[in-house]
Amino acid sequence: MKRQLLLALFLTPLFVLNAFGQEADNIDNSATFTEEVSQTELRINALTLMVGPALDISYEHVLSSASGLGASLLLNFWGDNYGSQKFALSPFYRFYFFDQKDYGARGLFVEGFSSLAIVEPYTEWVELRDGSFMEQDQGNQFQWSIGFAAGRKWINQKGFSFEIFLGVGRYLLSTDTTDEVHPRIGASFGKRF
């Protein structure tokens, strides 16, 4: 029951956003897709910048009107508000639905990603012989994860983009002192060129 409720809560906003999506002129000939649509997009995640503060930038190459391939780079040097990841390189593949012919690679999407990350482990407290406790630092650890995300992307005629997405990844090298899962959340602004 909990799983169904979480799935419904996650998918409902995506369908609502699609219902209120912007209209655009369709590109009639798919052969002109590569001539009409810019193939490269750079984005910055405003949500992680405000909440973290952490710098999360993404590059995406548009493969076709329905797919894209890219990578995100997360640098979290300034605070602990954005989870335990201090550095993450996350390659991804996206598959777009519905609005794929308008300006290519826009609309609802699902994303499969992998993440190579350096994470800060939890602080471990060790009990000493005299009954007192001492904090033991584990040092940063390397992690690898795979996961998925879903979201919505809007692009205007000038090539400026906005997207929101939500996802989760599971660490495959998890230990007792690190998280087993991590979020992939964003509200990103970008530009195609």
Domain boundaries, the chain: 37-122+132-192
Token pair of 61, please? Answer: 């190459």
CATH code for the part of the protein at 37-122+132-192: 2.40.160.20
How high is the pLDDT of residue 24? 41
How high is the pLDDT of residue 31? 41
Higher pLDDT, 62 or 3: 62
- Mean pLDDT within 123-128: 70
Q: Is the pLDDT of residue 185 over 70?
A: yes
Token pair of 7, please? Answer: 């799935």
Please answer whether residues 93 and 69 qualify as being in contact, where contact means their C-beta atoms are separated by less than 8 angstroms: yes
Residue 1, judged by CB atoms within 10 A of its CB (0-12, 13-18, 19+), counts as: exposed
Q: Is the pLDDT of residue 15 over 70?
A: no
> Using one digit for the tens of pLDDT, what is the confidence trace for 48-65?
998 878 899 999 999 988
Q: How far apart are CA 155 and CA 99, in angstroms?
A: 10
DSSP lists the bridge partners of residue 156 as none
Report which of 64, 61, 84, 63 is spatially closest to residue 74, judged by C-alpha positions: 84
> Using one digit for the tens of pLDDT, what is the confidence trace for 129-177?
787 777 766 677 888 999 999 999 999 888 899 999 999 999 998 666 6
pTM for the model: 0.73
> Using one digit for the tens of pLDDT, what is the confidence trace for 68-89?
999 999 998 776 655 678 899 9
Per cent of the chain over pLDDT 90 is: 40
The residue type at 31:
A
Report which of 182, 190, 188, 187 is spatially closest to residue 82, judged by C-alpha positions: 182
Which range, 7-11, 21-25, 92-96, is most confident?
92-96
Contacting residues for 125 by C-beta, under 8 A, at least 6 apart: 133, 134, 135, 136
How high is the pLDDT of residue 88? 94
CA pseudo-torsion sign 136, 180, 143, 55: negative
Strand pairing report for 55-64 and 40-45: antiparallel
DSSP state of 140: -
